[in-house]
Every structure is written in C-alpha cells, then in structure tokens.
C-alpha cells in the first residue's frame, strides 16, 4: 500500500481490485459480503496511515471511476475516483466557478465527500448538490445535501456513520457551481494558482505526508498546529517519522518511516498535548489495517 498512499507508508493489501465501472464495483462489494470479506475503499490515499502488516480482505481502488459530465446549466457530475485537481480543472475549462479553494488538495472526489474535506474555511458540502452510492446489498442511494444538511458538519459526512468497511461506496457526486464571465474565468484561474502556491509555500508537498494529522477544535482556542508548536513538537522524530519542522500539525515521512513509528509519533503528540495543555487532540488521519 506504500505505493497508494501520500505518506508512502503501508504493508501489502491481501487483494487489490480496481473496478472499471459502478456495476463492477457493486459486484465486488456484493461478492465480498457473500464471502464475509472486509472491503476498504481507497481514494487517493491522502488521509490514511496504513499499518505495516497491511490490509486484510479487499482494497477497492476507486481510481477508475473517474468520469465527468455536465448536469444542467451550472452543474458537474464527477466519478468518485476523479482527483480533486482534475475536477477543479474541468470546472474551470467549462467556465464554472466555486471549486477554486479546493485546488491543490490531494485526493479523490469520493474521499473529499467521505471526509467532507475543508480548505480555506470552505467545505465540500457547500458545493455538493448530491452524492450517489451503493452498499454491500447492492442498494443504490442518492443523498441530496440540501435535504440532509444535518449530516454534514466539520470533517463529518453521512458516509462515516456506517464505518469505512462494509459501508457505502460513493460512486459519484453532483456539484452545483456558478457560470463565470470571461473576466471571472481569468480571476478564477489566478485564484486557483494562488491556492496551490500557498500550499507550496507552507511546505505541503515537500515530503510525503497526509496533510494535517489532527483536527482543529475551536474549543482549544488555537489551531492545532499552533498548540503543538507551543509545546515544542516541531521537528520531533521517531525513526523517519517526523513532525515537520515547518508546520507542527503536518507529520512527514522523512525517509523510510514505518507505520508503527508514525503511529507512535501521533500518540506521543496526543500524550504531550494532554499533559501540557489538557487538550484532547482528535486525529484526522485514519488508521487502516494491521499495525
Ligand atoms: C499535502 C496534503 C494537504 C492536505 N490538505 C487538506 C486540506 O486542506 N483539507 C482537508 O480536508 N484535507 C486535506 N488533506 C487530506 C486529504 O487530502 C483529504 O482528506 C482528502 O479528501 C482525502 O481524499 P482521498 O481520496 O485521498 O481519501 P483516502 O485517503 O483514500 O480515504 C479517506 C477515507 O475516505 C474513504 N473513501 C475514499 N473514497 C471513498 C468512496 N468513493 N466511497 C466511500 N468512502 C471513500 C476511505 O475508505 C477512507 O476511510 C491533505 C492531504 C495532504 C497529503
């Protein structure tokens, strides 16, 4: 799995399957259920730490579910496996705005929907009109965000409720965007470039990582990165797992980090934040498989 995660960490998948379309994906879910095999749905692998012993059962790689089509005058429907960057570029090419804050965030449409990803104070559910899914019984569902507003909150979506295995597989997502004038297209392109440049300047792409390790919590009074900085965690290292020297909430693989060392570093940060600040930090990165 180290080849399929942005951390570049993770042992083997027992079975790795990349269905070519929604029907094939649904059949895999159904067959796995019949055989009692767990299924882990993989998007871009940008928010997961996979254990060194790998993942039992089936890893369903969604990357081939990468279609894109227009919907109405100002909408786009994207397959779950399309990358967020491709989605943003497609929208721009079609003169549609609303996604620019998400440009530069690693990962897939399905992963962003599952996580209700959030960039620059905007979350994906604000541009999402609906998402279509299938579960292990083959039941298709379409969730309209406007109807189920309560299911979406900070880094939460209705898809997390059923857990990640045997849950619903997001197949596609409909985005409601905004028609742009020619001048606005140029401004939107510039805004996208600025977002990517800001991430580059903040060191997001410097070494393999999964972005922010912990969620922010307003109740703690400051962003988590600043809290971890205040207790001297920048640059802290266990083996090749390192708290990045440039942002204390981004942990990086500085070479050949094991999952075990990265997990130890995460636990160490939690323990020190608890001891020195009385803060309970909730991981945003998801631990997957066996450690
Ligand atoms: C450099 C960097 C910067 C980052 N910046 C941000 C940021 O600004 N904001 C932010 O919110 N996140 C950020 N992240 C984290 C990450 O990009 C997001 O969480 C992203 O949405 C994860 O998508 P993914 O496709 O990689 O999901 P994965 O990591 O592959 O999976 C994450 C979870 O989603 C589930 N999942 C994935 N696809 C599906 C599907 N089709 N159906 C059902 N479940 C699915 C998986 O099973 C898993 O539980 C950053 C990461 C990196 C490496």
The token pair that represents 88 in the structure block: 């943003």
What pLDDT, on the 0 to 100 scale, is given for residue 163? Answer: 44
Tokens of residue 44, six digits: 């871009």
Q: If you average pLDDT over residues 267-280, what whole number do you get?
A: 96
The secondary structure of residue 236, as a DSSP letter, is -
**Model pLDDT for residues 9-58, shown as the tens digit of each residue:** 999 999 999 999 999 999 999 999 999 999 999 999 999 999 999 999 99
Q: Which atom of ligand 1 has the smallest separation from the CA of 124? A: 11
Instruction: Please check the confidence at residue 165 and state whether its pLDDT lies above 80.
Output: no
**Domain CATH for 14:** 3.30.43.10
Closest-CA residue to 169 (of 192, 140, 147, 205): 140
The pLDDT tens digits for 167-201 are 899 999 999 999 999 999 999 999 999 999 999 99
* Predicted TM-score (pTM) of this structure: 0.97
At 29 the pLDDT is 95
Ligand 1 surroundings by CB, under 6 angstroms: 6, 40-48, 62, 80, 105-108, 110-112, 114-115, 117-119, 159, 164, 169-170, 204-205, 209-211, 286
Q: Which of 61, 82, 107 is the endpoint of a domain?
A: 61
104-157, pLDDT tens digit by residue?
999 999 999 999 999 999 999 999 999 999 998 889 999 999 988 889 999 899
CA of 115 to the centre of ligand 1 (A): 6
- Could you identify the residue written with the tokens 């998402």? 131
Domain range for 258 is 209-277
How close is the Cα of 183 to the center of ligand 1, in Å? 32
Chain segment 200-235, per-residue pLDDT in tens: 999 999 999 999 999 998 888 899 999 999 999 999
Lowest mean pLDDT among 58-72, 159-173, 254-268: 159-173
* Residue 100: per-residue pLDDT: 97
Let me know: does 255 contact 246? Beta carbons within 8 Å: no
d(CA 52, ligand 1 centre) in Å: 20
Q: Which of 212, 244, 257, 279 is catalytic?
A: 212
153 catalytic per annotation: no
Report if residue 218 sits inside a domain. Answer: yes
- d(CA 124, CA 152) in angstroms, rounded, equals 9
User: Is 284 tagged catalytic?
Assistant: yes
How much distance in Å is there from the Cα of 34 to the middle of ligand 1? 28
In angstroms, what is the span from residue 245 Cα to ligand 1's centroid? 23
The number of the ligand 1 atom at minimal distance from the alpha carbon of 119 is: 8
The pair of structure tokens assigned to 76 is 């786009």
Residues 79, 196: one domain? yes
Q: Rg of the chain over CA atoms, in angstroms?
A: 19
* CATH code of the domain containing 270: 3.90.78.10
Does residue 162 carry a pLDDT above 70?
no
Ligand 1, from 111, 134, 209: best to mutate by most atoms within 8 Å of Cβ? 111
Whose C-alpha lies nearest to ligand 1, atom 33?
111
CATH of the domain at 88: 3.30.465.10
Per the structure, the count of domains in the chain is 3
- In sign, the C-alpha dihedral spanning 69, 75, 77, 78 is positive
Does any domain span residue 290? no
């Amino acid at each position: 799995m180290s080849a399929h995660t942005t951390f570049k960490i993770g042992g083997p998948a027992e079975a790795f399957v990349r269905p070519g379309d929604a029907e094939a994906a649904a059949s895999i879910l159904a067959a796995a259920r019949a055989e009692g095999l767990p299924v882990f749905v993989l998007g871009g692998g940008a928010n997961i730490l996979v254990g060194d012993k790998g993942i039992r059962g089936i890893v369903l790689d969604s990357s081939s579910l990468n279609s894109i089509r227009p919907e109405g005058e100002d909408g786009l429907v994207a397959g779950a496996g399309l990358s967020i960057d491709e989605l943003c570029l497609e929208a721009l090419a079609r003169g549609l705005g609303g996604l620019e804050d998400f440009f530069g965030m690693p990962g897939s449409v399905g992963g962003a929907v599952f996580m209700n990803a959030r960039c620059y104070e905007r979350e994906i559910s604000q541009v999402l009109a609906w998402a279509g899914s299938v579960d292990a019984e083959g039941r298709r569902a379409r969730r309209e965000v406007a109807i189920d507003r309560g299911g979406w909150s900070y880094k939460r979506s209705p898809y997390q409720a059923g857990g990640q295995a045997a849950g619903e597989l997001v197949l596609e997502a409909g985005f409601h965007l905004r028609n742009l004038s020619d001048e606005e297209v140029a401004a939107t392109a510039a805004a996208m470039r600025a977002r990517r440049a800001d991430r580059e300047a903040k060191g997001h792409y410097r070494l393999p990582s999964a972005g922010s390790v912990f969620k922010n919590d307003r109740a703690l009074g400051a962003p988590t990165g600043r809290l971890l900085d205040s207790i001297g965690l920048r640059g802290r290292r266990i083996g090749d797992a390192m708290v990045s020297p440039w942002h204390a909430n981004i942990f990086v693989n500085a070479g050949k980090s094991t999952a075990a060392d990265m997990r130890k570093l995460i636990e160490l940060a939690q323990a020190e934040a608890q001891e020195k600040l009385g803060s309970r930090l909730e991981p945003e990165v998801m631990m997957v498989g066996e450690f």
